[in-house]
Structure 1
Amino acid sequence: MKNLLTTIPQRGDLRHWADVEKILQACDSEDDFWTFSCRHYPRESGPGQACFMIHSGFIRGYFTVLEFTDTDVLRHGADQQNAEVISGKKVVLAVWRSIPPIAHTGFQGWRYTELQP
């Protein structure tokens, strides 16, 4: 099985790394998780693998992949007041771990990576 790499878009509440880092640090259990949408599930990855995250030109850390799902989830903004329903295929991630930043250009979607935790 392979690890994944994806980019956190720099828009809305996710523009600044300091704000994003607070949100990611709160994703510390299966009840407090992060998701990203995808057109196709990664066939060569799965639960238990790492998903490294890029923000503002650097790989900042990684999550553990919990599952792939098409179940609707609620996504809250930084204010935690207004939630929107996210439908479609998603990769569910939890337990954020920071790493020393590694320069890397962001991209849309996900890719496999040789990076290891």
Structure 2
Amino acid sequence: MLNMELEHLRLACDLMREHDGREPEDVLAPELPAPVTFEPNKQYLRDLIADELDLTTLGTGYVREAHERFASMQEALNGEQPPPSDRVMTMHQEAFGREHRLETEGKHPVKSLREKS
């Protein structure tokens, strides 16, 4: 992937010279930033889900309950049916007899979403 991206950069630089008459060094950073490191983030995501799963916006603030505007938007999108994502989860549960999520880090942080025994 890196080689592909570097080739894209090289081609873009050639096009800049050809069509803009400028050198890429005029607009590019003098050096690359430090590479991004990937680290485990499961606990961060679990905490985020536990704290903010049911938040939605109301004006410029956040509320926990699904307010009328959100409910009417859901009804306009889905009619009387549950959202497609909920339907897929139900189909999975019916087909395989279990929750679609793996609980590799322990029980789901939201009690109402934990797998039913």
TM over 0.5: no
Please classify the TM superposition score into its range, dividing by the shorter chain length: under 0.3
Could you say which structure has the higher strand fraction?
1
Bigger relative CO (Cα 8 Å, ≥ 6 apart): 1
- Greater helix share, 1 or 2? 2
Normalised TM-score (structure 1): 0.22
